[in-house]
Amino acid sequence: MFEGRRQILLLFFIIIGLVFLGKLFFLQVIDDSYEKAADNNAIRKIIQIPFRGEVYDRHNKLIVYNTPVYDLYITPRKAHVRDTLQFCQLFGITRAYFDSTCKQAKIYSRVKPYLFLKHLSKEDFARVQDAMVDFPGFTFTTTAFRTYQSKAFSNALGYVAEINSNSLQTQKDDYYRQGDYVGVSGIESFYEEDLRGQRGVKYRMVNSNGVEKGDFKEGRLDIQPIAGKNLYTGVDIRLQEYADSLMQHKVGSVVAIEPATGEILTMVSAPSYDPSLLAGRNFSKYYQDLALDPMKPLLNRPPSAYYRPGSTFKLIQALVGLQLGIITPGSVFTHAGAPVKCHSHNTSHNDLHNAIQWSCNPYFYHAFRKILYEDTQGNTYERSAQGLQRWSELVANFGFGRKLGVDLGNEKKGILPNVEYYNKVYKGENTWKFSNIYSLSIGEGELVVNPLKMANVAAIIANRGWYIPPHLVKAIGDNKVVDPFYKTPVSVGIDSKHFGVVIEGMKDAVLHGTVGGDGKIPDIVMCGKTGTSQNAKGEDHSVFIAFAPKDNPKIAIAVFVENAGFGGFAAAPIASLIIEKYLKGKVDRKAVEEKFMNKSYLPNVLSVTGPRPSKTKKDTLK
């Protein structure tokens, strides 16, 4: 009996011994998790941030590049600082900053690196590197901040900033870490995935004190970072700087487009800001100052600001009327019966050409009325709705009430009033008629656009009926990739034969019409149209759109100067100077140039931009 028990116990211990031996074999030979854990304790994984793509102008002149800097990260579980005073003095920080940042790092994660101090220069890095052996748990990563060759172009270019917590949590590809930088606005944001590149990883062996002892496995496991793709824009930075200088001490916008390609030559938003202020450690301080500035320098006005187009819209009224067959180049309308006043001009032969040349309000009042009522049936209310419906469909082809698709994230659609719009305003069908909406005839009332859209209108007329969606970036990367969207012409549905009379009227508006002497360019035939955009909170806004030369146009432009009055007084001369600079490479009219660079010439323009027009049924028109 005892012999049997002994054999059972012996068998039990043999089985236990085999289990332990098997487990030991598994841990030492098969399972490599402990080996990896040991490696992790002796290997430092260093994330390498790629350089962000650079930005060039149309002549391959560098606009934005990267300056290498170093970010200091803390891993709370590994961090140990014996002498806090020495550490603070080494990095030029306060004890309060040290304590608060260490606390935030622990809240974030005890085992993940947390950004402790950013943008140390190469000189600062060299100065502190040898002392870091006394401060385990602190590591450096190489990064860069944006450096700018010019102060112009900042609003369209945009800026980069540290990614916020909401974007960090909602990102789709888990690319970003806390402390990473991301494009926030402008093309920096729109082309973020192209600009950011691909991050790399470097493995370094360290001893028990955290001192690096060389590459792990001779660097075979390292992944090299891939720099972001460069952006090649259509912007002429010299023209941009010149246009920016003309808009100093003013509020408004300049947009110039190459009609044949849709490439934006210049995009000025005034007032603007120095982009270098939003690069580096002082971002928060300067951003707050800019955000609280009542002049809104951070607002990129060309795609975002709202204005009435004023008399520049008469060009579209003319083209729509011609396409519908409602008016002809020889159609004549008198001033009689029109509630809108006209500029003084010869009315003995008030045809379409003269109406454009002299910006005749009564002419377009009567033309718009005819567009709405001719070939319609029913009572006045029904006919008004029928006419407005066909009118709004054609006007929408010019980009009104919709986005053009520019490569910026803040483009606004604007407002194109249609039947549905007025049914809501007047609370029902058959409650409004032409007499309620006639202000649309001269580009006022509820019609709202941005300056980019009006520059595109100038390009459409220059092209005799088509445009390519305006864009800032014409190629991406070394392969010069181009989005097909920005190569595809868009027709506006107006026959090319109708543009002749409009263009001739625009030419004479410059030579002998509403533009005035300061807006004429010697030796260049410019076709343009002035506008005065009504402003309920101050002086009216000065508006001008144009293209040049008349044949084979190279540039189309829109200029808006807030609170500057009549279009020929401010916007037209500024546009003409920019066109002359672009086509000639110089400006011969120095007296005109000096006048508009003088900050005291337009004393009323620095008023705060007002809100969008209210939805009233009628405006007081000049």
**Integer Cα distance of 438 and 149 in angstroms:** 49
182 forms beta bridges with 161
The torsion of the CA quartet 335, 388, 315, 445, rounded to 10 degrees, works out to: 70
Q: Is the pLDDT of residue 364 over 60?
A: yes
Q: Are 607 and 432 in contact (CB under 8 A)?
A: no
Q: What percent of the chain has pLDDT over 90?
A: 64
**Integer Cα distance of 255 and 456 in angstroms:** 9
Average pLDDT over residues 323-341: 92
pLDDT at 324: 96
SS3 12: helix
Listed range (406-410, 462-466, 606-610) with the worst mean pLDDT: 606-610
CA-CA distances (angstroms) from residue 206 to 72, 112, 126, 221?
18, 17, 20, 16
**Residues in CB range of 326: below 8 A, 6 or more apart:** 367, 370, 371, 374, 375
pLDDT band of 610, cuts 50, 70, 90: very low
pLDDT band of 614, cuts 50, 70, 90: very low
- Residue labelled with tokens 């930005």: 55
pLDDT at 574: 97
CA-CA distances (angstroms) from residue 573 to 248, 305, 513, 592, 600?
15, 22, 14, 8, 16
Listed range (134-143, 341-350, 351-360) with the worst mean pLDDT: 341-350
Q: Is the pLDDT of residue 602 over 80?
A: no
- Residue labelled with tokens 């192209």: 194
CA 435 to chain centre: 39
Positive or negative torsion for Cα 106, 108, 112, 115: negative
> How much is the mean pLDDT over the chain?
89
- Take residue 507 and report the two structure tokens written for it: 């030419």
Q: What pLDDT digit, counting tens, does each position of 485-539 carry?
A: 999 999 999 999 999 999 999 999 999 999 988 999 999 999 999 999 988 788 8
* Buried-state track 442-475, b at ≥16 Cβ within 10 A, e below 16: bbbbbbbbbbbbbbbbbbbbbbbbebbbbbbbbb
**Residues in CB range of 588: below 8 A, 6 or more apart:** 522, 580
Q: What pLDDT digit, counting tens, does each position of 81-127 carry?
A: 989 999 999 999 999 999 999 999 999 888 778 889 988 888 889 99
SS3 471: strand
Q: Is the pLDDT of residue 616 over 80?
A: no
Q: What pLDDT digit, counting tens, does each position of 389-402 carry?
A: 999 999 999 999 99
CA angle 50, 51, 53 (to 5 degrees): 120
By C-alpha distance, which of 219, 261, 194 is closest to 462? 261
141 forms beta bridges with 71
Q: Is the pLDDT of residue 619 over 60?
A: no
DSSP state of 517: G
Q: Are 231 and 191 in contact (CB under 8 A)?
A: yes
One-letter identity of residue 77: R
pLDDT band of 617, cuts 50, 70, 90: very low
DSSP secondary structure, 15-30, as one string: HHHHHHHHHHHIIIII
- Take residue 179 and report the two structure tokens written for it: 């402390």
CA 467 to chain centre: 20
- Residue labelled with tokens 């494009």: 183
pLDDT at 608: 43
pLDDT band of 603, cuts 50, 70, 90: low
DSSP state of 329: T
- Take residue 576 and report the two structure tokens written for it: 């003409």
pLDDT band of 14, cuts 50, 70, 90: confident
- Take residue 254 and report the two structure tokens written for it: 């300049």
Identify each DSSP E strand in 163-260 by its residue range: 181-183, 200-206, 212-215, 231-233, 252-257
pLDDT at 345: 61
